[in-house]
Amino acid sequence: MDIKSAKFITSMANYGNFAGKGLPQIAMAGRSNVGKSTLINGLCRSKGLAKTSGTPGKTRLINVFLLNDNLHLIDLPGYGYAKVAKQEKEKWSERMAGFFDKNELLRVVVQLVDIRHAPSVEDVQMTGFLRAHDIPFILVATKSDKISKAARQRHLHPIALALAVQPFDIIPWSSETGEGREALMAALEEFI
């Protein structure tokens, strides 16, 4: 698969409002600031496609993109932003449930974690949720440029352990070096 075209379709608070038109979907999940928007731009080789931000917690909406006129890419709102009020967290949960519930168009979720940090409670809950619902997922460890090659296994091991996968199941990704794009494209191809 190659991404020949990518365009922004819509932002919405609730997935229920979206007419999926029967197109298959891939979704991006991860905590705020992990690099979801940046990854979407890198994947699509389109810098301004998804709005990136230095301030965590800005994207609270579900953003939809259309790839190659035949695939929807869904940027889910980031979770786990500490300063978000309880009410806001509940709203987030509702939105997530609304998206995942009986979503037959969803082929795979790309879950992002930051390669520098052990997964958060929410990260672990997310993979647990995906497993419990038989939703296939691909794990990507973002910002690999921020650690040395020598330190890589030391970082991947605790992530793999916490999320109950093998270290080699995790795709290291860097928006700076372009690392991971080919591997992620190949992984996605298996599901779409």
Ligand X SMILES: Nc1nc2c(ncn2[C@@H]2O[C@H](COP(=O)(O)OP(=O)(O)O)[C@@H](O)[C@H]2O)c(=O)[nH]1
Q: Please, which residue, 65 or 137, has the CB nearer to Mg ion? A: 65
Min dist CB 133 to ligand X, Å, is 22
Residues 123-162: x where in contact with ligand X by CB under 6 A, - otherwise, as a string: -------------------xx-xx----------------
Asked if 33 touches ligand X (CB under 6 A), the answer is yes
Q: Which residues contact 146 (CB under 8 A, 6 or more apart)?
A: 115, 116
- The answer to whether 96 and 47 are in contact (CB under 8 A) is no
- Residue among 167, 133, 139, 127 nearest 34 (CA): 139
Interface of this chain with ligand X, residues 44 to 63, rule: CB under 6 A: 52-54, 59
Amino acid at 89: K
Pairwise CA distance, residues 28 & 40, whole Å: 8
**Of 6, 15, 28, 37, which lies in the binding site for Mg ion, with binding defined by CB under 5 A?**
37
Of these partners, Mg ion, ligand X, none, which one is at the site of residue 54 (CB under 5 to 8 Å by kind)?
A: ligand X
Helix, strand, coil % over all residues of the chain, rounded to 5: 35, 25, 40
Q: How many CA atoms lie within 13 A of 47 on its CB side?
A: 1
Query: What number of chain residues touch Mg ion (CB under 5 A)?
Result: 3
* Under rule CB under 6 A, residue 174 binds ligand X: yes
Pairing of strands 106-114, 170-172: unpaired
Of the pair 21, 149, the CB lying nearest ligand X is at 149
Which of Mg ion, ligand X, none does 145 bind, CB closer than 5 to 8 A by kind?
ligand X
Q: Out of 38, 63, 120, 127, which residue is the one contacting ligand X (CB under 6 A)?
A: 38
Work out whether strand 137-142 and strand 170-172 pair parallel, antiparallel, or are unpaired: parallel
| Residue 80 binds ligand X (CB under 6 A) | no
- Site of interaction with Mg ion (CB under 5 A): 36-37, 59
